[in-house]
Structure 1
Amino acid sequence: MTTAPHIPWTYARLAGLPLAWRRRVLRSVLAARGLAARLRGRTDEAGFAATFESVLRLPRREALRLSREAARHDVASEIEWCALHRRPVAAILRDVARVSVAEPAVMERVAASGRPVILAPLHMGAYVLGLAALMVRYFPGRPMLVLRQRDDMVMETQVIERLREIDVDVRFLNVSERGDFLSAIRFAQKGAVIVVFCDLDPSYGAPAEMPMFGRPFRFAFGTDTLARLTGATVVPLATTMDDDGDTVGIGRPFEVRSSAPEERAAVADIMRRHLQAAIAARPEQWHLWPMLADYLPSSGTVQDISPEDGGTPQILAA
């Protein structure tokens, strides 16, 4: 029997509000708490300030501001999970309507081609809502296959499964074995839209060098093999949250025609550019800063990368 996840009372109340209301109320509540803390002589300048200074080469003042925004974003993201878990279907569809796509013509061309498609989002913003918007608008009637290596994340699984209620045929596939990977290929060839996160750490397999911000980042990169074997178009994505709605940013779509090292290097560079541009544009919304050390060799790591409350766990795999 599936266990119902625990949702804090405050999160549940905020999650029941319309999207713009819940985000603005949260901002006001956190601003009031911050002011009260400062009046008591406490500061809220911990978190990721040192990481933003070191990795992004930001001045201290801006790093502190972004660190506070990252703390707010973490809470806002949790509330978005709760909203997708608890709100009725009509309310979820109203939230989906508040998602805009930065380059809709790109998605229209990809969808109209009839080719297999791999969506490659980052763990940024309310990414499930962004995926829901893309499926409803551009891929109606096509199933969405989410690849992952774990199936023990109750909240995340239940939230993504709720997309079935808005006519998105969601399926999961664990890809820890070779046979599972072959199943993903068959799903894609039959018309499924495959979701493979592009910002997983190297332990997920097929690591590729993708240096960013002057540091030797490495990311898992099995997407190129899957694209080559299925003939799929890969569409890099990044969803960002604002008070009035979300935006799905579209990177440069690509295909993989061979296993030659130079082609792998070329498509890895496309993905690297997408990752760096998305993170640089909204660093406070990348969920995986707490795991920064996993992407860097020991000589490239920085200190003070984890806030007191921890961070978002990795749940979906390449």
Structure 2
Amino acid sequence: MAAGIQKIRWRAGRLAQLALACALVAGGWGASGAAAAAGLSTAVVPAAGGARSLELMLWSPCAAPPSTLSIGPYQVQARRDCPRPAGPLPLVLISHGQGGTRLGHHDTATALADAGYLVASFNHPGDSYGDDAGASEPAIFASRPADVSRAITYLVEQWPERERVDAGAIGVFGFSRGGYTALALAGGVPDRAASAERHCGSWRALLLTVCRRLGRSDAQLTARPDPRVRAIVAADPLNLFGPASFRGVGIPVQLWASALGGDGVSLADVQAIQRALPAPPAFQVVAGAGHFAFLAPCTDAFREEARRLCEDPPGFDHVRWHATLNAAVVAFFDRNLRRPAPAR
């Protein structure tokens, strides 16, 4: 009976999400820029082995009516501490880009939660807004995937509500450096020489400090995959890989590229990843989009704080396109993480 109720709840949420996406495409978002509601709570992954603690935001299905939470410059469609449904939920972790935050993709998190997922987002220590001391060190490219793995271990083994996590249905959504992080977790092996050649001879000043360190003969660029991750979405990923880096990647990949790129990522960089993956990914190029198109649409308050992140190329409808993005991300994880209900 519990499994049947869970299935009905998920179907209801999924139908609501699809209906909402259609409505958004037809008529645009409301004044709040909201996609869908979700339950919102927090949890802390304890510090261990020299690694700092992680403060998780947890997004989950919520049966209550939507509400808007003002969190800093963000308007988030969520209800705090909304009761979670019974039964295990597929889990998706979100990895933000350099200098980003756990709220940078809040609309994608709420869309996934509304569709029946448990979603965890957090700030990467040393490479997030207000905490960037490690952002220029090659070690950050090892610690980022390790952060995600630590969050997974906590949620499936230590979290007081761990019975609500389906440990066999775990995915990762990553943007920019977070896209690199997702690919590394999937088995991508970073390549220092290829990375230095690709990025360090160009005008991309954002990476110059990293380049000085990557250029050292003793520099290390390592990452550890996580076999618990069953599917990933990589949006405009930073390409720190070589032609042979993806031989060990055997899980489904949805790969996105902005046509215009930016911030150290180009369309050609992402296309190189597409060609190197052993199995063709679900690949889409977003016409007319710059790199920051993958961030949640900006509020007026956020635009005042970070105008560079909020200015889209002429003619690109950021808000309308995010309805398409979020529906596609949900559909991808539905295909690759959802397990058929047992036969009666």
TM-score where L is the length of structure 1:
0.30
The structure with the largest helix share of the pair is 1
Higher relative strand content:
2
